[in-house]
Structure 1
Amino acid sequence: MTSILAYDLGASSGRALLGRLTDRRIVTEELHRFPNDPVQVGGRLHWDILRLYHEMKQALLKAKNRGADLQSLGIDTWAVDFGFIGSNGELLGNPYHYRDRHTDGMMERLFREIPPEDLFGRTGIQFLTFNSIFQLYALKRADNPILREAKRFLMIPDLLRYFLTGETFNEFSNATTTQLYNPHKGDWDRELIARLGLPEAWFGQIVQPGTRVGSLLPSLCEELGVDPVPVYAVAEHDTGSAVAAVPALRKPFAYLSCGTWSLMGTEVDKPVINDLSRELNFTNEGGVYGTYRLLKNIMGLWILNETRREWERAGRSYTFPELVRLAGEAPAFAAFIDPDDDAFLHPGDMPGRIRAYCEKTGQKPPQDAGAFVRCILESLALKYRYVLEMTERLSGQQFEGLHMVGGGIQNTLLCQWTADAIGKPVWAGPAEGSAIGNLAVQWIAQGQFSDIWEARKVIRDSFPITAYEPQGREMWQDAYGKFLQVTGLSQSTTG
């Protein structure tokens, strides 16, 4: 049976899914799953990019050994990070991880040269310390020797696709996250690139999701004993693929792509670039088929994952089901954090940072594992309400409920508390949203679906959607007021 392959690489793990269409239903099979662990070396945090490519090749071998007749493949990954190709066509150095500290202070330094109002007006992209523009600025200020040898700038999925095909295209959805793309011009912002002192020639042709961008290299086909499978650019920012898979049947809809990061927003036909969106630090990232994703990044389950990792280092191991059970047994609304506080960005002693945040804000810190997890999950749910209200204000839309997609929906407690916090239904599914959106764009490109709305209808019919109805309205309303007070977030921004 003919299949297509989706590589979906997240910040903590990667997976390869086979997708088949059977009687207007999507059937997926997890072919290969692998960890994506960053590597600390020489004081810097890097992605192990060659290991990731190795794992992608293992997936091709498994597909061959299963007898899968691959019609195409596509790649989606996280955003903002990149690598450079030299004049000999080889990778220059190991790409930095966005949580590396080389960008500390760079955003404020760049603002002295390019006012934030100008930068946001040109790009519509949220200010985050690890955005590609600040990473490039940091490399430039450090006079990194790689820059002297670089010939092409490739985002992580562009780079992995280059390894597979030898073609150096930049895909649209990921290009927009660099804060070097100008949606008014529909291209790289050449003037902004020049003001940074970067070569214009680094930045190549931008292609839209659904574009065929090559086939597997003959040398790779010979190495693995596989056919020259066509390769498509999908929405190569994994959130773009996740939003493509949101099983909504019409606009407007609100979504939350929930995993290591939580990304909440709505799909719009054109960027929302104005003083309010800049004040609220929203972003306008490229989507599929002429759309943009008006959204905000929220730190997400990274905080919980890093807390669990710290406990494991100390010899206390918990499974995620155990932590969810303990959180459900802990007292409600005992302490809150702002998940987006800078204290929680970098790896390290997350429980210690939560304690320090609580002490700084006059709260009693959590005392046991259940209390820590409850603090994290309740704070996330309340931050989701805050961002959802901002999304409604910016978009001028009112949403009936919230679509949650991604691996985070397996945390049923978080799904229920999100419904409770926002006071609206939550529809959770599919869990493998990014991979399924990746598959959908490939099928649209091949004419299997007429458009994204037909694809979303088939996705809705193919995967279970769990509905969570809001409970405890008054209790959560009181908690929201306390959350805003503790975190210093302004309720006026949402009203």
Structure 2
Amino acid sequence: MNHVAIDIGASGGTVFLGEVTESSFDVREVHRFDNRPAERDGRYVWDVDALVGHIADGIRAAEDGVDGLDTVGIDTWGLDFGLLADGELLRDPVSYRDPESTATREQVFDAVGKRRLFDATGITNWNTPNTLWQLHTLAEREPDLLAESDGLLMMPQLLSARIGGEPAGEVTIASTTQMVDPEERTWATDLLGELSVPTDILPPLAEAGQSLGPVDEAVVSGLSSTPEIVTPASHDTAAAVAGLPLDEDAAFLNTGSWFVLGVERDDPVRTDAAFDNAVSNELGVDGSVRLLKNINGFFMLEECREAWREAGESVDYDDLLSAAEQAPPRAALVDTDADAFGIDEPMPDQIRAYCRRTDQPVPTGQGGIVRCLLDSLAAKTALELDALAAVVEGPPSRIVLGGGGVRNELFCQLLADATDRPVSTGPVEATAVGNVLTQAVAAGTVPDIETGRDLVGSAFETTTYEPRAGDEWTRAKERLAALTDASSSEA
């Protein structure tokens, strides 16, 4: 069968054609487009009309050269949503990176406390503007907007509805909101009531694999077939983990604008150790739970490339990585999760300013900045893996890597060195693979996720990077931990 996977991240989107049989699994890219928040009326928002146009172009491109399409599934980043009235958007969805998204964060903490939030939702993202904070801000500052709304859709389901699908909710994307009970896999309505966040606008939640109706020919014209819209694992990380060849000994690391590090388990973990180490429980496919840590990932690198592009400088990855290899290792480190880094100023300037404030050598040139970021991300991931290992029984002995970092050989080796664990690469396009896989299971082509993972394991080549022990990474982790503690104190 032919499945179209539409994977949209916070910096770009890609459309893939997946051709799956009982014994074969093939995924190839057919369309790519940029996606960045647009500044409108002083806010950073998502251009839904532009995204729908790109999606339509991608579906048409996927049909070229094949005998019709069977299903279409959309996954996106988490957190963001659209508010609707009578099926129409009330305004452009606001990006979670918009500074106003965290406006009432401290009020949420004061109202119910961090431990109550964790016990109710299993989520410990205190610095990421989850949907809960965004809705609480609206309830406090724009109550008329919420009163006017009769429905909320997370971004994948909003886009699915715009191309013809029925409005719906899906558990993997909903679990990023900090508004879902991970045990019951339903909205945490008691918590939301305590915070005066409306629950009547929330859609019923279902597992991946829902059929939402056919693609609307008026929106996606020119097709010779009428594919069915289904919900894959619609959070991009949930899709990526579904597409990785994992076992109980392995941690996953999905690399993109965000890094998501974790392990897959059957049940949520809401122990004191999980709370103290800030481990979150997000929902995965087939009833699974992903115990994880979120790390601000290649977002900063992409923001640097954007600034250099605007300045007329080269942004070719090979050139940047070659320059980074020549730069001094671990000369300067940054806490990538610090509030100091945003989208309102050129990122290279922000990095240099951070290093000055923290009395570190200021990286020079593109190579110095890229090396600073890669070293920092490797050390940050190592610290978060230590925290994760303190929570789970049988700590992971290796890492399976998915996403764009698979192509970055320098980063893969730095990660193995910093974590002192072998790093094996999964599919570069792990998210698309998992999107296609969950569609194939819904269509009955593949009986279950485990069988699909076996297909994936035989369809993609794997490279393993062995760690090279060295005290320099122990010292680097200690330096970064001190910077992270300082960032937390300032927040």
TM-score by length of 1: 0.93
Task: Find the aligned partners of 1:415 and 1:196 in 2 and give their Cα distance.
Answer: 43
Match of 1:381 among 369, 378, 382: 378
Structure 1's 121 and 22: CA in aligned 2 closer, same or farther, altered over 3 A? closer
Name the SS for the 2:238 alignment partner: helix
The structural deviation recorded for 1:91 is 1.6
Alignment match, 1:493 = none
2:294 to 276, 281, 297: 297
In 2, distance between residues paired with 1:161 and 1:58?
Answer: 15
Q: Where does residue 56 of structure 2 map in the other structure? A: 57
Question: Structure 1: how far apart are the matches of 2:144 and 2:52?
Answer: 25
**Alpha-carbon distance between aligned partners in 2 of 1:123 and 1:390, rounded to the nearest angstrom:** 19
**AA in 1 matched with 2:18:** G
Q: Hey, what does 1:150 align to over in structure 2?
A: 149
Query: SS at the partner of 2:479?
Result: helix
The CA deviation at 1:166 is 4.2
CA contact (8 A) 2:104 2:133 kept: yes
1:311-337 Cα offsets, whole Å, 9 max, x none, are 333343331211111110011221111
Structure 1 CA distance, aligned partners of 2:3 and 2:217? 19
Instruction: Select which of 203, 228, 231 maps to 2:229.
Output: 231
Does structure 1 residue 35 correspond to structure 2 residue 34?
yes
1:367-378 maps to which residues of 2 (within 5 A)?
367-378=364-375
Contact conserved, 1:211 with 1:233, CA < 8 A, in 2? yes
Letter in 1 for 2:171: F
Q: Are residues 389 and 73 of structure 1, via their aligned partners in 2, closer, same or farther at CA, if it must alter by over 3 Å?
A: same
Shift of the 129–483 alpha-carbon distance from structure 1 to 2, 3 Å rule, reads: closer
**Partners of 1:380 and 1:129 in 2: how far apart?**
17
Q: Do structure 1's residue 409 and structure 2's residue 406 form an aligned pair? A: yes
Letter in 2 for 1:295: L
2:111 aligned with 1:113, yes or no? yes
8 Å contact from structure 2 (residues 259, 296) kept in 1: yes
Q: What amino acid sits opposite 1:206 in the alignment?
A: L
Equivalent residues in 2 for 1:470-485 (5 A)?
470-485=467-482
Partners of 2:403 and 2:339 lie apart in 1 by: 24
More moved, 264-273 vs 55-64 = 55-64
5+ unaligned residues in a row in structure 1: which ranges? 491-495
Match of 1:136 in 2: 135
AA aligned to 1:73 is V
1:326 aligns with 2:311: no
In 1: Cα distance, 2:448 partner to 2:467 partner = 33
Is contact 1:212-1:233 (8 Å) kept? yes
Moved more, 18-27 or 421-430: 18-27
Question: How many residue pairs end up in the alignment?
Answer: 486
**What is the Cα deviation at residue 66 of structure 1?**
2.9
Kindly provide the amino acid, as one letter, of the partner of residue 109 in structure 2.
F
Instruction: Provide the C-alpha distance between the structure 2 equivalents of 1:91 and 1:484, rounded to a whole number of angstroms.
Output: 43
CA distance in 1, matches of 2:128, 2:330: 30
Equivalent residue for 1:448, pick from 445, 449, 455: 445
**Any idea what SS the aligned residue of 1:405 has?**
strand
- Which residue of 241, 245, 248 maps to 1:247? 245
Q: Deviations over 1:351-391 (max 9, x none)?
A: 22222222222212112221111111001101111111111
Percent identical residues: 35
Deviations 1:379-421 (Å, cap 9, x if unpaired)? 1101111111111111122222100100122111111100111
Hey, what's the Cα distance between the residues in 2 that align with 1:397 and 1:460? 23
Please name the residue that 1:394 is paired with.
Answer: 391
Q: Matches of 1:63 and 1:480 in 2, distance apart?
A: 45
One-letter amino acid matched to 1:422:
T
**Correspondence 1:433 to 2:430:** yes
| Contact 2:171/2:185, CA 8 A, preserved across alignment | no
Amino acid at match of 2:295: I
Alignment map for 1:132-281 (pairs within 5 Å): 132-143=131-142, 145-217=144-216, 219-220=218-219, 223-248=221-246, 250-281=247-278
Instruction: Quickly say closer, same or farther: Cα 1:331–1:72, change in 2 above 3 A.
Output: same
CA distance 1:371–1:220, shift in 2 (3 Å): closer
Q: Could you list the per-position Cα deviations for residues 406-460 of structure 1 after superposition, in whole angstroms to 9, with x for gaps in the alignment?
A: 0122111111100111111111120001010001111112222222111111111
CA contact (8 A) 2:249 2:397 kept: no
Give 3-state SS (helix, strand or coil) of 1:394's partner. coil
| Amino acid of the structure 1 residue aligned with 2:245 | P
How many angstroms apart in 2 are the aligned matches of 1:310 and 1:289? 41
- Shift in Å at residue 225 of structure 1? 4.3
- Find the aligned partners of 2:482 and 2:176 in 1 and give their Cα distance: 32
Q: What is the aligned partner in structure 1 of residue 307 from structure 2?
A: 310
| SS of corresponding position for 2:373 | helix
Distance 1:26 1:329, change over 3 A: same
> What is the rounded CA distance, in whole Å, between the counterparts of 2:223 and 2:413 in structure 1?
48
Rounded to whole Å, the distance in 1 between the matches of 2:73 and 2:314 is 36
In 1, are the aligned partners of 2:183 and 2:267 still within 8 Å (CA)?
Answer: no
The answer (yes or no) to whether the contact 1:106–1:129 under 8 Å persists in 2 is no
CA contact (8 A) 1:8 1:15 kept: yes
- Gapped regions of structure 2 (runs ≥ 5): none
1:82 corresponding residue in structure 2: 81
| Distance change >3 Å, CA 476–CA 57, structure 1 → 2 | same
* Residue 16 in structure 1 maps to residue 41 in structure 2: no
Task: Report deviation, 1:218.
Answer: 6.0
Secondary structure of residue in 2 paired with 1:83: strand
Q: For the residues of structure 1 that align with 2:400 and 2:478, how far apart are their CA atoms?
A: 24
Contact 1:267 1:293 (C-alpha < 8 Å) held by counterparts: yes
Tell whether the 8 Å contact from 1:299 to 1:345 is kept in structure 2 after alignment: no
CA distance in 2, matches of 1:461, 1:354: 41
Range 94-103 or range 63-72, more displaced: 63-72
Partners of 1:475 and 1:112 lie apart in 2 by 41
SS of the residue 2:39 aligns to:
strand
Going from structure 1 to structure 2, the CA distance change for 1:204 and 1:338 (only over 3 Å counts) comes to same
Contact 1:38–1:97 under 8 Å retained in 2: yes
CA distance in 2, matches of 1:230, 1:148: 33
Aligned amino acid, residue 454 of structure 1: T
Q: Indicate conservation of the 8 Å contact 1:306/1:347, yes or no.
A: no
Q: In 2 relative to 1, CA 359–288 (structure 1 residues): closer, same or farther, beyond 3 Å?
A: same
Deviations 1:277-318 (A, max 9, x none): 222222111100111111111011111111222233334333
- Within 1, Cα distance between the matches of 2:222 and 2:146? 33
Q: State the one-letter code of the partner of 2:74.
A: I
Which stretch has the larger CA shift, 113-122 or 77-86?
113-122
Provide the C-alpha distance between the structure 2 equivalents of 1:23 and 1:292, rounded to a whole number of angstroms: 27
Further displaced range: 229-238 or 152-161: 229-238
Give, in angstroms, the shift of residue 484 of structure 1: 3.0
Question: Amino acid of the residue matched to residue 93 of structure 1?
Answer: R
